[in-house]
Structure 1
Amino acid sequence: MADLDSLDTTVFDAIVLGTGFTQSIVAAALARAGKTVLHLDENDYYGGESGAFGLKELLGWAQQMAKVDPVDDTDKIDFDKLVGKTYSAIDVDLFDHASLSPSLEIDTASVLAKNSSQPAEAQITALASHLTSEFLVKTGTSSAATPKKDLQEAIQLIASLAVMLHDDDNKQGDSSKSSNNNLRQKVTVGQIQALGQLCEHSRRYNFDLSPKLLYSRGPLTNLLISSGIGKYLEFKLLERTAVYEQTTDTVEMLPTSKEDVFVSKALSLKEKRQLMKFLQFAVDYENQRSVWEDYAHATFARFVQTVFGLQGKIWTAVVYAIGFDGNDYATTTEGLKSVKVYLQSLGRYGNSAYLCPLYGVGSELAQAFCRVSAVYGGIYMLQHGLDHHVVEGSSNTWKALVDKKGSTLQASQLICSREYLSGHMDGYIEARTLNRSYVSHCILITDRSAFGDTSLCKTLFPKGSLVLNPEAVEGGGAKPRKNEHTVSVLQMCGGTMTCPNDRYVLYVWAESDEKEGTAKEDLLAAIRKLVHITGDRFSLKAPEPEQSSVASSSSSGTGAPATAEASKTTKSSEQQPLDVQPRMSLDQEIDMEQVRQEILAAEKKLFDESAATAASATAETTTSSSPSSRPSTPAPGSKASSRTASKSSSSSATSSWPSPRALMALYYKRTASWPRVPYPEGSDELTPLPTNLTVVKPLTHALDFEEATEEARAIFERLCPEFEFLPPTPDPED
């Protein structure tokens, strides 16, 4: 990491602000082309809006984002305010599974009210002191004792979160917010103990702010391979894809590859033929325009239903499990393109179309590109405060950047994300934004997999499949309010290096058209279908006590007697899904020729047999019963574990597995708005951004990075049309 005083020059070909995903690719490409690059970030971490955090760091980030003040319309760069403006509706739920007795509750509302006129730091100190003393009393410990370090950290975090939520209520003029685990009102001993357990392993978590995956044969993966940047990364394959079926109120694993089609018990022989016919067409759809050109601008969902007659589970599998790219209103052209990329990605590394980088997706990818930039002379400075831009008024040309110390940094081009603009510049983008878009997020920690024996899984809740207001509907006072956008869920396991091995992380997100309303309102209905939430009767039923993983009395560090439920132990380890899939690098493509030949043979047999004959019925029964719905776990390192991520195609994603318990949930809403034609009336009269200033778009709610990758390529090719975009890195021996 460079220091400004040690620089030989303050004039560069390009200055890049923010280490977000798109900026990092552009910085790497510019440096690789021989340009001098200065890359600055006011954060102390890489990744920007796709950054990754440990547990304590994540909760600290949430508190920082909640301190939102109005953005001043000035020429100054106010990074903290613009970042805070990006995030809203921040809420935290901590769940107590051990202490449900009212005698173990600690009041927080009175302390917050008493100290409401004090600065935030004083409020936190007062509440933390109150929580500590009450915790010692309620656990039967001497007041002279000191809780162990993890519990002290938990108490401090809870105090900070309670003050944050209380202040946010006051800002919004709403003190009536309530939840099953409302830190504004009370805290239980069990919540403190549970958070203490999580804090004990804080560094083993790598939470993504904007979780995504990579297509195995998509533009980003191909770029990582061709440029050599992929050698810095390790991956795992996504195992399965599930979709919520409203008619049966179940989350079902659907066939998403040819192998899945043959072993699926959820589809009839006729349905399998229909699906295979469509998949064969989609691989070569460009050469069959007559089939789809009349539907090019119609929705993809209508096309597959009208032309191919897909209904029920097959329609759901094609539209959501295979073709969904984050766009609920995708046209036929967009849907077919997405399906083809998906199908082409199957088989490159195994029976899955998606790759998941380890150690946090967005942050690891951004750092990989930053390393390449640094190798080719790019200069990096984190935690570098910036003051204002210098723009030549007559020509409206960006000239320089002035930092907090008064140093002037010059360049021919500036590439940045929106939070590095001045108030006036940000106001221009705001005024030009007609169709606003937001993304509701939830990061949820659970004690077991939400999908039975599947550890790394993608799940979708189609638009209109969820009732968002069951409480109001049950009382008869309101009509059902359905989800207007698809809700995406991505489950990560310990094998992805994002959490401990006995924990799972569920990322839940969905597009939102309105800034008003909370992320919890948008996402809670989907979460209720996957996990048990303490005190929430609309969520899954709690697992049997002997199957639950709860905080034991030893976690208090005080010698207090264990509660009845806390003394229970978890069931044997065989009940937890075993992650045996090895890590892989991008140079481990497998030879799928034998697999392809087997598929062709099975496909020929499938189409040759008649559905009406007894032989076909026998063949279908035989195919459906292998593998079994509860397959044995392959040994680590075996061919089965290293060559495929396929599991059984049982109709239920959870089968007889116990429901996972929610341990902690963080909700937030992120702004993804960007100007799109047509612009609002009168916005053309505003002073445009300087021509040599490029502002990258915020990440969308799409599952992959393909749009951001193509944006980075377009920016580079516009700035350096004479150079190749990230050519292969030369071999050191050459």
Structure 2
Amino acid sequence: MDFDAVVLGTGLSESITAAALSKAGFKVAHIDSNQYYGGDDASLTLDELMEWADQRASIPDDKAPSDFLARQRARFTSITHSSTLPTQSRQYSISLAPSIIPSIGPLIDSLIASGVSRYGNFKLLEKVAIYDRPGGVKSVPGSKEDVFKSKVLSLVDKRRLMRFLMFAAGEFEGKTELEGKEQLPFLQFLHDVFSLDDQAASAIAYALAFCMSASDTTLPALQRIRQYLRSAGRYGASPFLVGHYGGLGEIAQGFCRTSAVKGGTYILGRRISSIAPFVKQEDSSSSAHETSLRPSRYAVELEDFAEQLNCDLVICSSDYAPPTAVTTVPPSPLNARQVFPVARCVAIIDRPISFSPAEPSAESSAPPPVDADAPSEAPGEPPAVESSNPNYEVDTGLLVFPPSSFEGASAITTAHVLVTGEGSLSAPKGKYILYISMPLIDASPQSAAALLTPYLDATLTLAIEKPGEASPINPLFTLFYIQHPPAPATAATTMHPDILAVEVLKASGHLRDSGVERDTQAEGREKDEATALEVDAFWPPLDSVDDETVDDW
């Protein structure tokens, strides 16, 4: 079987790549060793989650794992979970990459431009709050209305906060307030330039800018706040969306669906046996000069799959890269933020979480109702969005734990708790999923359970008690683990790699420069003459809705 490209792994990045190449007219084979879509971004049932965790837990007497599984075990460590599953275990959709999506940004733009937004729905994130004390939180003033309604801010504090929000929402690059202070710690910038007190500065830094620590610099923090402020109002009062059925895993599957509709071939549950370069027999008589100019071709063999896959290009994540490949890719200057290991916890509870304000008078009115059918300013078809719940009881919410939030909390880094429930179609009625995450800026000998159990206990103090029950709440299920970033390989200047993993842009350039000719044929129209396909942009133009039928899936 001959293909232009073979993509290994169905994570979000790989799925976007496969969809883009398929829509551009290339013949793509998309392969995953797992039985499900999404890779490390997948959405799993509880049964699948238990199997995922057990496969990646190190077992001394286990037989030699595949290269892929060995790398996964190195990336996911300190795995512990409950021994039993709650009822309705297959009605959960648990994300391996829990996330909130800004209403304005490249991901939403890609969903609209590609048409993948037609394959999924979203729910507005109802609330962002800061943990204050057992049973109470602090609201976050993220708009003019929030500042005006606040009854805990003095008139002077309101003026200072309004001045900062107006500054952060605009084009602050080149402003005198920022000049020479781009690398200043953001908290210090808020104190020195806008005279904000510790409470207001902490709320802005950790709940609007989502700073990891007090040392986060000013310019990136301001850019995140600007996106936060500009995202509010696009689809509703909240600036963030939460995807149905676990979020990113469903989005990745939507891109896979787009690729399949455009002719992509999908193979799941087959391990990679080998990847090796090869030369066609009919090309063996070519001169050495002609051979050197011809792009390399590769043969991909799968276990329990009779046919060999031949392709011009192999695209994969580092976990799929064969040992003979050089996996070092020069870091992009646009993505220079350091990546740390992340301690994660997934907990399932049977009581709702309440974001009750610390002061009853601080938040006397609920957010205005959201018209989910309001027209969007974005081109194309906007994602379907549900409105938020106006009560303190949250179905989807984000709780922020700044450093030293309580006794036993980390003194240097922030932790986040994402709450999802029935409204996001990720849990059965009356059940809620807590995703706790904390970046490990400093190496810690503690296990994931030891690091995150205090945050879980603090979050459970916000749970609403059932009538007639005074006993402390116990999670129905917990999973703890540490996720490490892919380890970069050391640069080896003497090696000439047979396969370059991940270099999507460079590899796409080879396809473009080779002047690959394609016969293009629109549905219902006659075949046009063969023309050279030139890829000027990574994402092709959006097809009309009528041209892409879901019946082909």
- CA distance in 2 between counterparts of 1:454 and 1:662 reads 17
Shift of 1:83: 2.0
- The structure-2 alpha-carbon separation of the partners of 1:427 and 1:686, relative to structure 1 and needing over 3 Å to count, comes to farther
SS in 1 for 2:195: coil
* Correspondence list, 1:75-94, <5 A: 78-93=67-82
Match of 2:402 among 462, 483, 508: 462
Q: Pick one of 415, 425, 428 that aligns with 1:487.
A: 415
- 2:118 counterpart SS class: helix
Mapping 1:263-662, distance limit 5 Å: 263-286=149-172, 288-324=174-210, 329-391=215-277, 399-405=298-304, 407-425=307-325, 437-452=340-355, 453-468=393-408, 482-512=410-440, 513-514=442-443, 516-531=445-460, 543=465, 546-547=468-469, 661-662=474-475
Q: CA deviation at 1:730?
A: 2.2
Contact kept? 1:18, 1:417, Cα under 8 Å: yes
Call closer, same or farther: CA 1:515–1:353 in 2, change over 3 Å: same
Residues of 2 paired with 1:213 and 1:715: CA distance?
31
What corresponds to 1:225 in structure 2? 112
- Offset, 1:425: 4.2
Say yes or no: does 1:664 pair with 2:477: yes
Q: In structure 1, how many angstroms separate the alpha carbons of the residues matched to 2:203 and 2:544? A: 43
Matched position secondary structure for 1:359 = helix
1:71·1:81 contact (CA, 8 Å) conserved in 2? Answer: no
SS of structure 1 residue aligned to 2:541: coil
1:694 partner SS: coil
Show the 5 A alignment for 1:159-198: 195=85, 198=86
1:223 offset after TM fit, Å? 1.8
For residues 398 and 463 of structure 1, the distance between their equivalents in structure 2, rounded to whole angstroms, comes to 52
- Aligned residues of 2:125 and 2:396 also touching (Cα < 8 A): yes
Counterpart contact for 2:277–2:298, Cα < 8 Å = yes
| Contact preservation (8 Å) 2:351, 2:465 | no
Q: 1:287 to 1:423 in 2, by over 3 A?
A: closer
Q: Displacement of 1:325 after TM fit? A: 6.0
Measure how far apart 1:483 and its partner are. Answer: 4.3
Alpha-carbon deviation of 1:374? Answer: 0.9
What is the CA distance between 1:296 and its match in structure 2? 1.3
Change in 2 beyond 3 A, CA 1:264/1:426: farther
TM-score, normalisation: structure 2:
0.76
Q: Deviations over 1:656-683 (max 9, x none)?
A: xxx75422211011111443xxx96xx4
Equivalent residue, structure 1, for 2:536: 722
Decide whether the 8 Å contact of 1:713 with 1:725 is kept in 2.
no
C-alpha distance after superposition, 1:454-477 (max 9, x if no partner):
221111112343544xxxxxxxxx
Letter of the structure 2 residue corresponding to residue 666 of structure 1: L
| Matched residue SS, 1:16 | strand
Q: How far has the Cα of 1:379 moved from its partner?
A: 0.8
Equivalent pairs: percent with the same residue?
Answer: 32
Q: In the superposition, relative to structure 1, how do residues 227 and 715 fare at CA in structure 2: closer, same or farther (>3 Å)?
A: farther
CA shift, 1:492, in A, is: 0.4
Contact conserved, 1:20 with 1:47, CA < 8 A, in 2? yes
- Cα 1:372/1:292, change in 2 over 3 Å: same
| Cα pair 1:438 1:515 within 8 Å, conserved | no
* Cα pair distance change 1:488/1:424, threshold 3 Å: farther
Distance in 2, Cα, partners of 1:404 & 1:328: 50
Cα pair distance change 1:284/1:203, threshold 3 Å: same
Indicate whether 1:208 and 2:95 are aligned: yes
Deviation digits for residues 235-273 of structure 1, max 9, x if unmatched? 110011111347x99532222222222222332222222
Where structure 2 has 5 or more consecutive residues not aligned to the other structure, the ranges are: 280-290, 330-337, 356-392, 513-534, 549-553
Give the corresponding residue for 1:165: none
In structure 1, what residue type is equivalent to 2:500? L
Q: Aligned partners of 2:59 and 2:412: how far apart in 1?
A: 28
2:6 is aligned with 1:15: yes
Q: CA–CA distance in 2 between the matches of 1:718 and 1:449?
A: 53
Letter aligned with residue 523 of structure 1 = L
Matched AA of 1:81: A
Aligned pairs for 1:93-112 (under 5 A) are 93=82
Give how far 1:222 is off: 1.7
Q: Check conservation: 2:318, 2:501, Cα contact below 8 A.
A: no
Query: Which structure has the greater CA radius of gyration?
Result: 1
- Cα offset, 1:276, TM superposition: 1.3
Alignment match, 1:603: none
1:161 maps to what in 2? none
The one-letter code of the counterpart of 1:461 is F
Q: Measured at CA, do residues 245 and 56 of structure 1 come closer, stay the same or move farther in structure 2, by a change above 3 Å?
A: same
How far apart, CA to CA, are the structure 2 residues paired with 1:492 and 1:203? 16
Structure 1 residues 713 and 250: alpha-carbon distance in aligned structure 2, compared to 1, 3 A threshold: farther
Greater strand proportion? 2
Give the CA deviation at 1:285: 2.9
The alignment's TM-score, normalised by the length of structure 1, stands at 0.58
Residue aligned with 1:366, SS: helix
Map of 2:39 onto structure 1: 48
CA contact 2:186–2:214 (8 Å) conserved in 1: no
Return the alpha-carbon distance in structure 1 between the equivalents of residues 463 and 236 of structure 2. 35
CA distance 1:483–1:44, change in 2 (3 Å): farther
Q: Secondary structure at the match of 2:16?
A: helix
Aligned to 1:652: none
Distance (whole Å) between structure 2 residues aligned to residue 398 and residue 515 of structure 1: 45
**Residue 80 of structure 1: SS of its match in structure 2?**
helix
Aligned equivalent of 1:146: none
Q: d(CA) in 2 for partners of 1:497 and 1:541?
A: 20
Judge conservation of contact 2:77–2:482 (CA < 8 Å) in 1.
Answer: yes
Determine helix, strand or coil for the equivalent of 1:231: helix
Distance in structure 2 (CA, Å) of the matches to 1:689 and 1:322: 44
Q: 1:58 aligns with which of 41, 44, 49?
A: 49
Show CA shifts across 1:44-102 (max 9, x none): 001111111112221222112214579999xx962222222221111124xxxxxxxxx
Separation in 2, partners of 1:427, 1:224:
29
Distance 1:215-1:441 versus aligned 2 partners, 3 A rule: same
Which structure's residues are more often helix, by fraction? Answer: 1
Confirm whether residue 251 of structure 1 aligns to residue 137 of structure 2.
yes
* C-alpha distance after superposition, 1:402-450 (max 9, x if no partner): 2224643222211112221224548879xxxxx8831111001112222
The 1:326–1:718 alpha-carbon spacing in structure 2 relative to 1, beyond 3 Å, is farther
